[in-house]
Every structure is written in structure tokens, then in C-alpha cells.
Amino acid sequence: MNINSRHSLAILAVLLALPVQAQTPEPRPQGGPAKPVAPVKPGAPAAQPRTEAALEAVRTKVLAGDADRAAYEELVAAIRGSYGNLGQSTPDAITVRSRLVAAVDDIYARAKQAKIAPEEFSALKVDLLDAQLEDTLAGMATTPGEKGVDALAAGVKQVADASQELDPGTAEWRTRAQALIDGLKKKATPEPVDLEPLREELAHARAMRSEVVLEKRATSKGATQTDFTRARNHLSDLLELQARNDPEARELQKKLVSAIDDLEHRAAEAALTKADFESLRKELVQRGRMALAERSKPHG
């Protein structure tokens, strides 16, 4: 091999290495805005282990009085890199990520002035697991199969295990969700329409759980902006879902969102009582009964 040949090969080796070097993230100044993370493509491996580890790091730091910026940024990056199967769902991936990051932002903002209650991280953990379960459900709609049903069952178990201390109604919705999953297992290839009863069951469980958490914290004058926002969002998601078959759902959505707005306004001045939540609670219970009755009707 002559000198010119060796020189050409050396240049070629450098050029081939450039794309790899270009993918190396540049260091970011401490405290600067987080760089956007590319969404996960449908069918990509779930980022749940990373999200759980990042949440635990944040929880440990914040409860110890250390609002560590690096831990915050890792959790935000993990959230922004997850839930890619929700691209066309309601709520979609962008909305889900934005809600979760806003909840983390709220915790960090308040951590600078006061201690954060441990149950806030319990609720946030359930939200993260629940979003992953919804992501699994959305993925199942595009890539049905036995493994997808098994993943749904595992996701339901994770959410239920994490939420049972927050919501006394966990055992009930868990039983109903498992019955729906058992029904899916009997189908050779579940169609997207077969997944809708489970989607609605999970949406109702989510709305009920958010109301329970809000009521508990508001009646002890410990409710935060995140608690009220979570209840509004999950209630709206449920009624948005039900509005496809129930024209009255959208009007009820406006009414109940307004009711939560009023509760938040009054909570800023004084502790609320269980009676203040009675109407909201009854409406949500009724929506669940209506959905259950609809599923019980013979079709076809």
C-alpha cells in the first residue's frame, strides 16, 4: 500500500466517525432549559425503568431538602422520552408529558419554600405508572397479541399496587379491569374496539382516584395546584371519552370543571369539608355505573 492510499484510508476513517461524534450531546449549562427529547416511536421499548429510577432519585433528594437540578432534569428527560404510543390518543403524548412535567415543576417550585409531603410523590408515581399503562394500551391497539394483553395485566397490577393506599376504591376497579383483560385473552386477535371498555374503566378509575386524593388533601388544607389540576384533567378525559356515545357528557364536563375551579378558589381561603365534594363524587360514581350498565347490555 503506497503513501497516498494510506492517506486516503485515514481520511475515510475520520469521515465515517463523524456521524457518531455528531450524536454526542453537548454539555448544557447548569440550570439551563432542558433540551427537547425525541418521542418514542410506537413499538419501541418502554422507558418505564428509567422513569421510575429518576422519580425515586427526585423523591429522595426533595424529601431530604435538596432540590437537586440534575435529578430534576433526568426525570423531565425520562418523561419527555416516554409514552410515544399515545401519539393519536386522547389525551395525546404531548399532553400527557406536559401534565407530568408541570406536576414535577410545581413540586420543585414549592420545595424552595416549604417541605413537600411524601404522599405527593405517591400520587406522582401513580400518575407515571398510569401513563405507562395507557401507553401500553395504545400500543396494543396498533400491535395486538398475547404479549400485549400480558403487558396490560402487568400494568394494571402496578397501578393498583401503587394506588391502593391513596384510593379505597382500588380493589373494585382492579377487579373490573382484570375481568376485561381476561375477556381479551379469550380473543385470538383483539381489535381496537375490544380495548375501549378497558380504556373507559381505567379513565373512570383515574378520575375517581384523583377526586379522592384531592378531597383528602383539601379537607386537611394541604391540597396543591397539582391536586386540583390533576382532578380537572382526569375528569375531563373521562367525559371526553364518554362524549362519543353520550351527548350530555360535554355539558357535564363543563359543569364539573367549573365546580373544581370553585373548590380551588374556596380552598385558598379555608379548609373544605367532605360535603363540599359530595356532588362531584356522586357525579363520578354515576358515570361509572352508566358505563358498567352499557357494557352489560347485549350487543349485536
Model confidence over 167-195: pLDDT tens digits? 999 999 999 999 999 999 999 888 999 99
253, three cell numbers: 364536563
pLDDT, greater one: 76 or 47: 76
Q: Look at the chain and report how many structural domains it folds into.
A: 1
CA dist 292 → 38, 80, 171, 197 (Å) = 38, 34, 16, 9
Whether residue 297 lies inside any domain: the answer is: no
Domain range enclosing 98 = 36-122
Residue 133 CA to residue 110 CA, distance in Å, equals: 29
Confirm whether 69 is domain-assigned. Answer: yes
Q: 67 lies in a domain?
A: yes
Residue 106 covered by a domain: yes
Q: Does 81 fall in a domain? A: yes
Q: How far apart are CA 205 and CA 77, in angstroms?
A: 28
| pLDDT for residue 164 | 95
Burial class (CB in 10 A: 0-12, 13-18, 19+), 136: buried
Beta carbons within 10 angstroms of residue 54's beta carbon: 22
Q: How far apart are CA 263 and CA 228, in angstroms?
A: 9
Average pLDDT along the chain: 84
In a domain, 92, yes or no: yes
Q: Is residue 233 part of a domain?
A: no
Specify the range with the lowest mean pLDDT, choosing from 3-7, 110-114, 118-122, 228-232.
3-7
Residue 214 in any domain: the answer is no
Whole-number Å distance between alpha carbons of 226 and 100: 10
Average pLDDT over residues 213-233: 95
DSSP letter assigned to residue 84: G
Residues 19-30: tens digit of each pLDDT: 333 333 333 333
First CA to last CA distance, the chain: 78
